[in-house]
């Protein structure tokens, strides 16, 4: 720890001067007085000239903190000099206190974890526990002691403190993580710090959310015990007095032998943990049962440690741990869209999770278990991730690095899982924001298509009503069915049904029908007057279809020419279907197996009602046309059609469907609304269902 701290922190004082010098020069240039910062620059030059001295003094201060912790240099009270503090030194110390508070606030979680581990280390060394050698107060004190005799002006001092804090921010996160990992790997777990004040017993209060969570965990623990009962029935090979089929048979039966102790199995797993996980990757690929692969690998490792597998066997609890971890990982690959590139990553984690399951049964009972949260984070990073974008590639690489870190550093201290989760979750937080933006874009696109479809349907109804009402010339019929229809759609989308502009568009269509009737009666003067009055509106209507002034004038001329002949052929017209970009998207929608958004398909009304109660943020499990299971979230419910937009964990649209369509898919076994929110919970639900089906308890 001392070596790491001195290496990473030791050069910080030498890096303070250049950024401050640049800031001073820029400030002087902005102020228009280049010589205004001459005093501060001169002081900075003096500090730079003595840089080597300050670096050495700072390194000594950092190293001294570790010597003090080990009680190699304990100062007696009589050794401490006493005296008054000068006013400028008092301000220096106050700045140091503010710095310590900022560091303590920014790194509160890793510092709290380190404090507990350092107390355990102090107890092991049988020395009194003093402050953290690289804690906030120590780092602030090291800076103050390093520059205690430096001449710092009132304007330069805060700049030095700010730059020191920025330089610390570059290294402290990594340093604290490595020190915590080093302590955890060495076996120093967190203990309750004796110096922390004990809280008085609280008076009884109504059940808080934490109480409800505890009750929920108790329920999960009861379910876990039931799960073990089903697992025992499954393993013993009997279900309600009948032998199991070959498909559901247990993975093996063992003759009576000496039961291995948990520490022996953990030692074997630790020996094998860093070896290539090829055997587990092949099992997850479907070439064999993962539970068999784990047992065979442990048997081989036991032989290498001098434990004869022919004379020993796993205990029931150890069998449970292996089977549950194997089923957990198999279920994750069955129920989540994990691509081939993720298989080796998960294979690396098999033995560490076997070790966790052997030593800590709360892995399957507590939703806040650090190993459980880490597996959820890794699955969130990997599910459906094809590395198509730089952000997705970074997520995969970080998840792989986290898995490798677990393999390298896990030594029965769960803190490594918590640290790894914190590291990965920081990147996932950015990813979740990108996913939210992707969901918003998908919802806006879906809503835009629905509004367009609704506007076209309304416009078609209006146009058809005019076309069928009476015989019209070809020119008027064409005008109403094409440019006027498009103009109606535009006004509906932009202005709304009750807008004045939409009313004017309706009046134009009705007026043209009247003009056509005047023309058929040979009322030339009335036709001419009306066309003059409508000229501006007709040109605007044609322009809304994308025609320029020349084309609009040409279209108007064609309309006038047609209406100038009273005996021209007239007939009742029919609006022809128009191929639009929206309708061309039907192929894409069908690829997403969208049935059309209507309630006319065969469905179970009760199921449809259940689907209708789904709210944004709820998760379902969907099986696509290729048989692949997908976790999908209800991202948006249309205010127009009540159709639901479902997206995957990357925020990409996977389905847009009505409640009736979802009910039809559920009847086919392709939609399940009982999905859990987190991957671990969903995988365990599938494990319970699998064992319950075998044991006849579903």
* pLDDT value, residue 402: 92
Residue 331 has pLDDT above 70, yes or no: yes
Instruction: Looking at 209-274, list the stretches that DSSP marks H as alpha helix, in order from N- to C-terminal side.
Output: 209-236, 262-273
* Structure confidence by residue, pLDDT tens digits, 42-83: 888 888 888 888 888 898 899 888 888 887 654 443 343 444
* pLDDT value, residue 239: 41
* pLDDT value, residue 169: 82
At a CB cut-off of 8 Å and minimum separation 6, what does 137 contact?
A: 100, 104, 131
Tell me the pTM. Answer: 0.55
Residue 259 has pLDDT above 80, yes or no: yes
* pLDDT value, residue 356: 93
Concatenating the DSSP letter of every residue in 393-437 gives HHHHHHHHHHHHHHHHH-SS-THHHHHHHHHHHHHHHHHHHHHHH
* Structure confidence by residue, pLDDT tens digits, 264-282: 899 899 889 888 888 898 8
Which contiguous run of DSSP H or E holds residue 361? none
At a CB cut-off of 8 Å and minimum separation 6, what does 200 contact?
A: none
Secondary structure of 528-589 in the HEC alphabet?
HHHHHHHHHHHHHHHHHCCCCHHHHHHHHHHHHHHHCCCCCCEECCCCCCCCCHHHHCHHHH
Give the residue, 109 or 658, on which the prediction is more confident.
Answer: 658
* Structure confidence by residue, pLDDT tens digits, 192-246: 444 333 333 333 344 444 444 444 565 656 666 777 777 777 666 544 444 445 5
Sign of CA dihedral 142, 146, 149, 152: negative
Which contiguous run of DSSP H or E holds residue 368? none
Q: Which range (29-43, 334-348, 549-563, 572-586) has the least confidence? A: 572-586
At a CB cut-off of 8 Å and minimum separation 6, what does 504 contact?
A: 537
For strand 644-647 and strand 629-637, is the pairing parallel, antiparallel, or unpaired? Answer: antiparallel
* pLDDT value, residue 189: 63
Q: Contact, 463 vs 481, CB < 8 A?
A: yes
Separation between Cα atoms, residue 452 and residue 446, nearest integer Å: 10
* pLDDT value, residue 206: 44
Kindly list the structural domains of the chain, giving each domain's residue range(s) and its CATH number in brackets, ordered by start: 2-185 (no CATH), 216-413 (no CATH), 447-580 (no CATH), 585-667 (2.30.30)
Mean of all residue pLDDT scores within the chain: 79
Residue 696 has pLDDT above 50, yes or no: yes
3 state DSSP class of 369: coil
Give the residue, 453 or 94, on which the prediction is more confident.
Answer: 453
Buried b / exposed e over 463-491, threshold 16 CB at 10 Å, is bbebbeeeebbebbbbbbbbbbbbbbbbb
Nearest CA among 355, 429, 358, 418 for reference residue 391? 429
Q: Contact, 611 vs 674, CB < 8 A?
A: no
Separation between Cα atoms, residue 337 and residue 627, nearest integer Å: 11
β-bridge partners, 620: 632
Buried b / exposed e over 387-403, threshold 16 CB at 10 Å, is eeeeebeebbebbbebb
* pLDDT value, residue 695: 59
| Cβ burial, residue 312 (10 Å; 0-12/13-18/19+) | middle
Place of tokens 């006038």: 560
| Other CB atoms within 10 A of residue 541 CB | 27
Mean pLDDT confidence for 119-147 = 87
Mean pLDDT confidence for 599-615 = 80
* pLDDT value, residue 354: 94
Percent with pLDDT over 90 in the chain: 8
Q: Contact, 392 vs 386, CB < 8 A?
A: yes
* pLDDT value, residue 164: 87
Separation between Cα atoms, residue 248 and residue 694, nearest integer Å: 7
Nearest CA among 155, 118, 123, 154 for reference residue 135? 118
Side-chain half-sphere exposure of 340, counting CA atoms within 13 A: 3
* Structure confidence by residue, pLDDT tens digits, 401-423: 999 999 988 887 888 898 888 88
């Amino acid at each position: 720890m001392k070596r790491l701290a001195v290496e990473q922190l030791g050069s910080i004082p030498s890096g303070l001067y250049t950024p401050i010098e640049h800031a001073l020069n820029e400030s002087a240039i902005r102020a228009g007085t280049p010589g205004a910062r001459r005093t501060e620059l001169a002081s900075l030059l003096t500090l730079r000239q003595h840089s080597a001295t300050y670096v050495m003094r700072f390194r000594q201060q950092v190293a001294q903190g570790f010597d003090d912790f080990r009680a190699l240099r304990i100062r007696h009270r009589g050794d401490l000099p006493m005296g008054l503090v000068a006013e400028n030194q008092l301000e220096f110390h106050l700045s140091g206190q503010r710095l310590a508070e900022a560091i303590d606030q920014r790194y509160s979680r890793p510092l709290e974890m380190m404090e507990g581990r350092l107390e355990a280390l102090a107890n092991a060394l049988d020395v009194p526990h003093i402050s953290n050698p690289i804690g906030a107060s120590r780092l602030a004190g090291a800076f103050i002691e390093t520059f205690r005799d430096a001449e710092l002006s009132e304007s330069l001092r805060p700049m030095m403190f700010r730059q020191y804090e920025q330089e610390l921010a570059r290294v402290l996160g990594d340093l604290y993580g490595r020190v915590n990992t080093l302590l955890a790997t060495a076996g120093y777990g967190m203990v309750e710090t004796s110096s922390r004040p004990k809280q008085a017993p609280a008076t009884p209060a109504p059940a808080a959310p934490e109480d409800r969570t505890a009750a929920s965990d108790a329920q999960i623990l009861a379910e876990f015990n039931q799960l073990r009962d089903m697992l025992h029935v499954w393993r013993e090979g009997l279900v309600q007095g009948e032998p199991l089929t070959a498909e559901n048979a247990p993975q093996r039966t063992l003759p009576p032998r000496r039961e291995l102790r948990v520490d022996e199995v953990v030692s074997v797993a630790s020996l094998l943990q860093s070896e290539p996980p090829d055997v587990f990757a092949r099992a997850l690929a479907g070439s064999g049962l993962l539970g068999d692969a784990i047992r065979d690998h442990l048997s081989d490792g036991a032989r290498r440690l001098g434990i004869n597998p022919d004379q020993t066997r796993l205990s029931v609890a150890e069998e449970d741990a292996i089977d549950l971890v194997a089923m957990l990982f198999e279920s994750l690959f069955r129920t989540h869209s994990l691509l081939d590139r993720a298989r080796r990553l998960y294979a690396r984690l098999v033995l560490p999770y076997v070790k966790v399951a052997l030593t800590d049964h709360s892995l399957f009972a507590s939703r806040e278990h650090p190993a459980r949260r880490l597996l959820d984070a890794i699955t969130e990073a990997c599910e459906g991730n094809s590395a198509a974008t730089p952000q997705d590639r970074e997520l995969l690489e970080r998840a792989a690095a986290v898995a490798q870190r677990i393999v390298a550093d896990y030594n029965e201290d769960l803190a490594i899982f918590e640290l790894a989760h914190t590291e990965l979750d920081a990147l996932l937080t950015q990813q979740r924001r990108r996913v939210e933006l992707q969901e918003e874009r998908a919802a806006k696109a879906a809503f835009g298509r629905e509004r367009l479809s609704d506007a076209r349907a309304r416009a078609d109804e209006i146009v058809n009503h005019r076309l069928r009402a009476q015989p019209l010339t070809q020119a008027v019929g064409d005008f109403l069915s094409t440019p006027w229809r498009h103009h109606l759609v535009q006004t509906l989308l932009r202005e709304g049904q009750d807008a004045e502009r939409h009313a004017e568009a309706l009046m134009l269509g009705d007026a043209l029908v009247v003009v056509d009737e005047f023309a058929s009666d040979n009322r030339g003067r009335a036709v001419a007057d009306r066309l003059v009055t409508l000229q501006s509106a007709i040109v605007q209507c044609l322009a809304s279809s994308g025609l320029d002034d020349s084309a609009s004038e040409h279209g108007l001329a064609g309309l006038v020419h047609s209406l100038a002949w009273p005996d021209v052929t007239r007939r009742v017209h029919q609006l022809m279907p128009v191929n639009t970009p929206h309708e061309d998207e039907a192929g894409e929608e069908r690829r997403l197996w969208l049935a059309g958004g209507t309630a006319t398909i065969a469905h179970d009304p009760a199921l449809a009602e259940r689907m209708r109660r789904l709210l944004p943020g709820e998760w379902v499990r969907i099986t696509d046309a290729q048989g692949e299971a997908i976790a999908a979230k209800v991202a948006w419910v249309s205010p127009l059609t009540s159709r639901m937009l479902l997206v995957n964990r990357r925020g990409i649209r996977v389905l847009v469907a009505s409640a009736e369509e979802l009910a039809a898919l559920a009847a086919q076994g392709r939609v399940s609304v009982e999905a859990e929110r987190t991957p671990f919970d969903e995988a365990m639900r599938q494990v319970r269902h699998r064992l319950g089906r075998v044991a006849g308890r579903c």
